[in-house]
Structure 1
Amino acid sequence: MSTFFIRLYKDSDYEVARQLFVSGTAEHTTEAFKHAIRQPHIWPLLLALLVLPALDIVSITTSICAVTIIVGFLWYATWRMYRNYIRLGFFSDMLDIRKHYLEQDGHCFWVAESGGQVVGTVATAPSPYPGGEKHLELKRLSVCESHRGRGIAKALCRTMIDFARQRGCEAVVLTTSLAQKDAWKMYDKMGFRLTHTFYRPKPFTKLLDFKILFYQYDIPELQ
């Protein structure tokens, strides 16, 4: 097991950090698609379409085509949702990481390095959510697949929490999706609490049941 250490972002980390953002986001497409197709407003429809040929209502070819179209649409809608999220990141905070995270008060960006390579990232910014005047948001947490299970993600989270504590913040907040099971399980173990869920005002989020989970970690007051 290789060791790792966490440090502040450097300009030479730019391409790797962006690639980790892409891979860490896009990998959830399959799980989100599987979740969507299991929804009670989806799978009964698919099942009914497969049964119709046995009742001589439609042909087998028509049935298969209809199922293929629906499944294909669900996959495309899920893929496009993640693709648009990546594009938004590329044209906002991930476009100029130094300017956005290291040159603004209350912002920061760290990387985890192992064997001379950047294998993880995490960032923070003031919370944009209501009631979060003394809250920081945990963002852009990602660890490359080959280095998972070594405590890197937890260490990155603790680094960000320590940063918030040193600034006198009351809490750390974050959002994650229902498809990111490993992430929200880790947040649960670290003491974050799920406060609520919601749907982003984007097309097809309710159809796909693409819920966003909102977590909060309350920073204990120093005695």
Structure 2
Amino acid sequence: MPDYVIRLYKDSDYEAVRDIFSRGIKEHTKTAFLHTLSLPYIWALLLALFLFLRQTTGSYLLLAMVMPLGVAALWLLNRHVYAGYVQNSLTNDMMNIRKYYLERDGYCFWVAELAGEIVGMVAAIVPENPTGENQVELKRLSVPIKHRGKGIAKALCRTVIDYAWKRGSSAVVLSTSMAQIDASQLYLKMGFRRTITEHAPFILAKFIDFRILAFQYDFPKYR
């Protein structure tokens, strides 16, 4: 039997879950940044800028700063993407968690608790679905680094699947960023299939190759 328990969110969990969410999202900045650095056209662009400045300015100080400043700009851009997402979420659905998730039909929010400490979280919402299918969307799945490897994320994911099953839903859907590698692997192991891979809807997404992955867990049509 696991030492942790999964229960509904309480108002006393507010600060803990917001902190877990923020840290969990921002930690992917490094992975996204390293992916951007691995893109051949990024280095081609930096080299072209270096050669252009050498031809036009001849400033050795400026030339020495091109690469470090370019790499720093890429880091800041990736950090801005995740930090901006966190800030937007904290002022929207994560601002009043009870009202947004527990006082609306089809919405819910759970936490995992271990020895009085919140060690994980997950939510369910009603997704926008133009086909009209009865689906549940998994949101806000996060487990602090020190508590990973204990099966908590898997149990939280299963909680949403069970919730959707009891509601008679046809599927559970979710989206995550390409940098969230462990999460993607978990979803595949849980029986989700990847349905869509597309660039995020912001101007520089294609430039830094910031992709969103969509997954879907289908229930049997006949139960």
Q: Same fold (TM over 0.5)?
A: yes
| Match in the other structure for 1:17 | 17
Paired residue secondary structure (2:162) = helix
Q: Which residue does 2:137 correspond to in 1?
A: 137
Structure 2 distance, partners of 1:110, 1:134, is 21
- Runs of 4+ in structure 1 over 6 Å off: 48-55
1:166 is displaced (CA, Å) by 0.3
Give 2:195's aligned residue: 195
Unaligned stretches of 5+ residues in structure 1? none
| Aligned-pair CA distance for 1:49 | 6.5
More divergent stretch after superposition (198-207 vs 154-163): 198-207
Count residues with an aligned counterpart. 222
Distance 1:127 1:110 in 2: 18
- Deviation sequence 1:39-81 (CA, Å, 0-9, x none): 12112334567799999x9565333211122111111111111
Report how far residue 37 of structure 1 moved.
1.1
Aligned partner of residue 110 in structure 1, secondary structure:
strand
Match of 2:159 in 1: 159
The alignment-based identity, stated in percent, is: 50
- Secondary structure of the structure 2 residue equivalent to 1:6: strand
Higher RCO structure (Cα 8 Å, ≥6 apart): 1
What residue number does 1:63 align with?
Answer: 63
Provide Cα deviations, 1:105-143, integer angstroms capped at 9, x if missing partner.
000000001111111000010112433531111000000
Equivalent position SS for 1:188: helix
Letter in 2 for 1:66: V
Q: Look up the SS of the partner of 2:31 in the other structure.
A: helix
Change (3 A) 1:135 1:113: same
Q: Give the secondary structure class of the aligned counterpart of 1:168.
A: coil
Q: Which one-letter code corresponds to 2:179 in the other structure?
A: A
- The answer on whether the counterparts of 2:133 and 2:170 sit within 8 Å (CA) in structure 1 is no
Question: What's 2:113 paired with?
Answer: 113
What is the match of residue 38 of structure 1? Answer: 38
- C-alpha change, 1:154 and 1:2, in structure 2 (3 Å) is closer
How far apart in 1 are the matches of 2:73 and 2:129? 32
- Do 1:2 and 1:115's aligned partners in 2 also have CA atoms closer than 8 Å? no
Structure-2 separation of matches of 1:157 and 1:13: 19
C-alpha distance 58-193 of structure 1, shift in aligned 2 (>3 A): farther
Give the Cα–Cα distance (whole angstroms) in 2 for the partners of residues 64 and 184 of structure 1: 39
1:85 aligns with 2:85: yes
- Alignment TM-score, normalising by the size of structure 2: 0.92
How do 1:39-54 and structure 2 match up within 5 A? 39-46=39-46
Q: Distance in 2 between matches of 1:201 and 1:169?
A: 28
**In 2, Cα distance between the equivalents of 1:140 and 1:64?**
42
